[in-house]
Amino acid sequence: NAGVTQTPKFQVLKTGQSMTLQCAQDMNHNSMYWYRQDPGMGLRLIYYSASEGTTDKGEVPNGYNVSRLNKREFSLRLESAAPSQTSVYFCASSEAGGFGYTFGSGTRLTVV
Amino acid sequence: DQQVKQNSPSLSVQEGRISILNCDYTNSMFDYFLWYKKYPAEGPTFLISISSIKDKNEDGRFTVFLNKSAKHLSLHIVPSQPGDSAVYFCALERGQLTFGSGTQLTVLP
């Protein structure tokens, strides 16, 4: 099925470990996004890529880095994980701008 | 400072009745207002939207109302069905989406 694929679905990290969350879309969308969802906080934008070759910070970028590898793939990296980064991470894509996102099913990350 | 607020974390409604979900915002510079629906262990899915130049948009059982003077957005679901039980997020668009904190709707059979 066409859509946004995120891997892994679940991950447990120890404080200080690093990892990369992968995201790929097959809808030929230009824009891609990484959000985190925390209880009572809704979805907060971490980083986005308006088009291939560009990335920009969102509302909560500290502690994260991103790479827009090509038009299909947008990865999120935690260099030194902290318990405050325990969250559910969602990747999304859209044709252009912020209208009509398609979301992946999420990655549940726990940092202990 | 939160730009988008959903002040009701949860709402319970009887099947067949109307569900009204509310959203308030502080910044008037948004172009589109959207509602997303989220089931457990899934990503949010787009439900309905309204342009900033309109005050109402309908799609089947779902109607979104925009009151720009009050900076208030609402989603009406009529009639509510048990399958509508989910978390509903309002989102405001200006380049990217800014989401509210969500409201858990439970429709009781």
Spatial distance between the Cα atoms of B74 and A63, rounded to a whole number of angstroms = 35
* Cα dihedral value A7, A9, A14, A17, nearest 10: 10
Instruction: Tell me whether strands A56-57 and B10-14 are parallel, antiparallel or unpaired.
Output: unpaired
pLDDT at position A97 is: 61
Residue B53, burial from CB neighbour count under 10 angstroms (0-12, 13-18, 19+):
exposed
Give, in order, the Cα–Cα distances in Å from A46 to each of A81, B48, B57: 15, 24, 30
Mean pLDDT of chain A: 94
pLDDT at A39: 85
Task: Say which amino acid occupies A29.
Answer: H
Instruction: Read off the amino acid at residue A3.
Output: G
Per-residue pLDDT, A98: 59
Average pLDDT over residues A60-74: 96
Element (H, E) at A13: strand A10-13
pLDDT at position B13: 98
Average pLDDT over residues A21-49: 94
Q: Do residue A92 and residue B101 have CB atoms under 8 angstroms apart?
A: no
Mean pLDDT, rounded, for A79-102: 89
- Return the residue of A nearest to B33 by Cα: A99
Name the residue among B36, B43, B96 with its Cβ closest to that of A106.
B43
Interface check for A90 against chain B (CB to CB < 8 A): the answer is yes
The residue of chain B with its CA nearest to that of A104 is B43
Cβ contacts of residue A62 below 8 Å, gap of 6+?
A: none
**Sequential pLDDT tens for chain B (109 residues):** 678 999 999 999 999 999 999 999 998 888 899 999 999 999 999 999 999 999 999 999 999 999 999 999 999 999 999 999 999 999 998 888 999 999 999 999 9
Percentage of residues of chain A with pLDDT beyond 90: 86
Hey, are the CB atoms on B93 and A45 less than 8 Å from each other?
Answer: no
Residues in contact with A18: Cβ distance below 8 Å, sequence separation at least 6, in sequence order? A77, A78, A79, A80, A81
Contacts of A98 in chain B (CB under 8 A): 32, 91, 93-97
Burial B16-43 (b: 16+ CB within 10 A, else e): eeebbbbbbbeeeebebbbbbbbeeeeb
pLDDT of residue A95: 85
Contacts of A70 (CB under 8 A, 6+ apart): A52
pLDDT band at A1 (very low <50, low <70, confident <90, very high): low
> Which of B23, B52, B97 is the best mutation test for A, with the most CBs of A within 10 A?
B97
Six-digit token string for A27: 């809808």
